[in-house]
Amino acid sequence: MKRSLALGIAALMSTSQVFAADSLPNGTATSFTKKANEAVLKELNFNDKEDFELVNRGFIATLENPIIKTARQPYDINAFKFTQDKPAPDTANPSLWRQSQLTAANGLYKLSEKIYQVRGLDISNMTLIQGNSGWIVIDPLTSAETSAAGMKLVDEKIGKLPIKAVIFTHSHADHFGGVMGIITQDDIKNKRVEIIAPAGFAEEAISENLYAGNIMSRRATFMYGNYLKNNPTGNLGTGLGSAVSDGNHSFAMPTKTISKTGEKLTVDGVEMVFQMAPGTEAPSEMLFYFPQMKALCLSEDATSTMHNLYTLRGAKVRSPLVWANALNTTLDMFPDAEMSFASHHWPRWGKEKVRQHISDQRDMYKFINDQTLRLANMGFDSEEIAEQMKLPDSIGKKFYSRGYYGSLNHNVKATYQLYLGFYNGNPATLHQHPRIDAAKRYVTAMGGPSKVLKIGREAFNKGDYRWTAEVVNHLIYTNPNNKEARLLQAAALEQMGFQSESGPWRDVYLSGAKDLRDDKLYDIPPLVDPRSLPLAMLFDYSGIRINPEKANGKTINLGINATDSGEKYTVVINNSVLFAHKAKDGDKYDGTLEATSEQIGELFGGLASYDKLESKVKTTGRSGAIRDALALMDPMPKRIPLVTPLEKRAPQPSSNQMAQAKNE
């Protein structure tokens, strides 16, 4: 016992000496980070100022008050003004710093005689086309408050005109969430405004943020740096735009659906030709051309960055081949375009410039597709391919091909996953231990916590921050309360963030460092309100929440009647699975619920207990059938850790393990 105690004290002393010898940096760049960022200055042509000319061209005005009040978090359009007219600090990749200077520009811009754009009031752009008697609005931002502020600026500087149509380019929320800031449901109901969207828009817009919405939302807080400060050591913006607004998110069902490439439409005297592009940047997406103005809307398929084939918040992988082929079709369909604009970033003018930009972006995605498959077919796995992949200089050194939002590294891995899945072909990797179980084995194999910290710190002192993070992560997943491990891991992640060219990569690294240092979890922001869901999708969501242990051996048949819409559904829980279908004659029920669609959404979306709404709804049949069914559904957690283990996931140590840990 005395020997064990002595060894334990010695281990603790050696750990203290490792950390006392040289304090860890916090908010400052190491010599290795400075060197890495200096190398970027030599790699790229920072004397190229074309983008700065393009981003400022046609500027009319911006908001007098830079703060837009929203339902949750005020939006400051000058949040990244600190980047302006200053060289990149040591704590920022110079290429990302340059992109942040560009995306910080905000206000109302004139693109051509009848085309205007609002930029920098959200992560996305709102574009306005002037028709014979009113506006056609493309992509009304993320939140009602920011889109309303943008429209007010247009009214003041150009003149107030009625909105004749709203076009949603694709199914991501930052392109439709602000629609009710500029129109009303009454406008749609009385056909004063047409809502135009690509086929599949409504289903894809809801489902992507619904089925995996809780964890996706939590991961999005890391990806967008929601809880980081906007400064040279914190958030520099998303790379795709400044920041995502957090106000009232709204939705409008399309009144006109575009389903075919080549389809034409005239709205308020403005002619449009559409190109369908599903499965590119979004599952439902379209590009379109205004022949009278020779202007091309590229949606989000060709912007001033390499985009995501996989987004770090989590979503279905996008095909680079489908994306490249879509842009090739764009070049074929619209050879006369003299101006292009997108749902993010700044426009381009001149036929040659427009075509060069689109063809370079096309070739970039095709290169990723082809070279990933070439190397995969030679036997390399996704990590090996990502490490050696490099774009040709003819594409890769152009700023609009840089990985400010996506990254070449994770896009290669996404492409490998798209074709070959998670398994790399080596049987040893087919059934690996879960991360907590593996972490315990790694820590033991390395000689215990003190040895892990020593290895991690030695790697840190050499500037090998990736290895520090990988090694120390095992210790954190063995003991998330180890303060030395948390601080070392945080320091490594922070330096990796300071070196990142991708805005999301920087934000996930810095957010991880913040969580490790602060030891604080944040509430998950809502992505979708279950009360607004179509009932069929609501019941799909309810099925995801079924707890199989609670539901084991139970069969419940429910009739659900929406009193406002008249919809009637049969909901069956059996084999720990929930299925729903439109009610049919002869369906038998244990219980029936009659309520409004909103009340059904509250109950089956987990927003309200049955006891709370019991007096407001009507039930028939077996007493408690509705309550029993709802009791089988797990609530979605309000907080989820990403850099430390879940409490429920972490194994409980035995008394012997606890004693051993003390001795180590």
pLDDT tens for each residue of 441-480: 999 999 999 999 999 999 999 999 999 999 999 999 999 9
Task: Give the domain extent around 469.
Answer: 2-31+432-518
Same domain, 491 and 551: no
Is position 78 within any domain? yes
Report yes or no: 164 and 272 within 8 Å, Cβ to Cβ.
Answer: no
Q: CA separation (Å) from 150 to 61, 102, 111, 124, 200?
A: 11, 19, 16, 12, 28
| pTM for the whole structure | 0.93
Cα separation of 497 and 512, whole Å? 10
Query: Residue 651: its pLDDT value, please?
Result: 43
Is residue 647 one of the residues assigned to a domain? no
Residue 483 shares a structural domain with residue 614: no
Closest CA to 33 of 387, 389, 515, 506: 506
Q: Are residues 75 and 8 in the same domain?
A: no
pLDDT at 258 over 90: yes
Task: Evaluate if residue 659 carries a pLDDT over 80.
Answer: no
Residue 337, pLDDT above cutoff 50? yes
Mean pLDDT of the region 55-75: 96
| pLDDT tens readout for residues 423-435 | 999 999 999 999 9
**Which of the four pLDDT bands, split at 50, 70 and 90, describes residue 17?**
very low
Does residue 388 form part of some domain?
no
Q: Rounded to an integer, what distance in angstroms lies between the CA atom of residue 100 and that of residue 161?
A: 33
Residue range 414-425: average pLDDT? 97
d(CA 606, CA 630): 8
The 10s digit of each residue's pLDDT in 43-57 is 999 999 999 999 999
Distance CA 170, CA 168 (A): 6
Rounded-to-integer distance, Cα 396 and Cα 43, Å: 11
The domain boundary, picked from 493, 518, 543, lies at 518
DSSP letter for each residue of 591-649: EEEEE-HHHHHHHHTTSS-HHHHGGGSEEEESTTHHHHHHTTBPPPPS---SSS--TTT
What integer is the mean pLDDT of 645-662? 49
DSSP bridge partners of 129: 115, 136
Structure confidence at residue 520 (pLDDT): 85
Read off the pLDDT of each residue in 345-358 and give the average, rounded to a whole number: 98
Q: Which residue has the tokens 């279950």?
A: 530
- AA identity, residue 645: P
Q: Is residue 172 part of a domain?
A: yes
**Dihedral pair phi/psi, residue 441, rounded to 5°:** -70, -40
> Could you give the CA distance from residue 402 to residue 395 in angstroms, rounded to a whole number?
9
pLDDT band at 15 (very low <50, low <70, confident <90, very high): very low
Give the three-class secondary structure for 208: coil
Residue entry with tokens 């009340």 = 599
190 domain residue, yes or no: yes
Q: Which helix (H) or strand (E) covers residue 6, if one does?
A: helix 2-20
Domain end residue (candidates: 322, 338, 364): 364
Strand extents, DSSP E, 359-412? none
**Lateral strand order in the sheet of 135-138:** 59-61, 107-112, 115-119, 126-130, 135-138, 163-167, 194-198, 256-258
Average pLDDT, the chain: 93
Judge whether 506 lies within some domain.
yes
Q: Could you tell me if 443 and 566 lie in one domain?
A: no
Residue 657's pLDDT is what?
Answer: 40
69 & 111 share domain: yes
Mean pLDDT, residues 266-295 taken together: 98
Between 210 and 331, whose confidence is greater? Answer: 331
Task: Tell me how crowded residue 249 is: count the other CB atoms within 10 A of its CB.
Answer: 24
**Residues 259/199, Cβ–Cβ less than 8 Å:** yes
Out of 331, 364, 397, pick the residue that ends a domain.
364
Question: 211: phi > 0 → left, psi -120 to 50 → alpha, else beta; which?
Answer: alpha
Asked if residue 119 belongs to a domain, the reply is: yes
Tokens in use for 14? 């050696």
Q: Name the DSSP class of 406.
A: S
Spatial distance between the Cα atoms of 397 and 622, rounded to a whole number of angstroms: 69
Section 301-329 average pLDDT: 97
Give residue 108's region: left, alpha or beta (phi > 0; psi -120 to 50).
beta
Do 487 and 553 belong together in one domain? no
Instruction: Judge whether 180 lies within some domain.
Output: yes
Question: Based on the domain organization, do 474 and 561 belong to the same domain?
Answer: no
* Domain identity same for 152 and 180: yes
Q: Are residues 483 and 540 both part of a single domain?
A: no
Contacts of 420 (CB under 8 A, 6+ apart): 376, 382
Instruction: Indicate the number of domains in the chain.
Output: 3
Same domain, 115 and 83: yes
CATH number at residue 504: 1.25.40.880
Residue 12 has pLDDT above 60, yes or no: no
| Residues 84, 174 within the same domain | yes
CATH of the domain at 534: 3.30.1050.10
- Which CATH number belongs to the domain containing residue 176 in this structure? 3.60.15.30
Cα separation, 544 vs 170, in Å, equals 26
Same domain, 12 and 77: no
Cβ atoms 127, 261 nearer than 8 A? no
Residue 1 has pLDDT above 60, yes or no: no
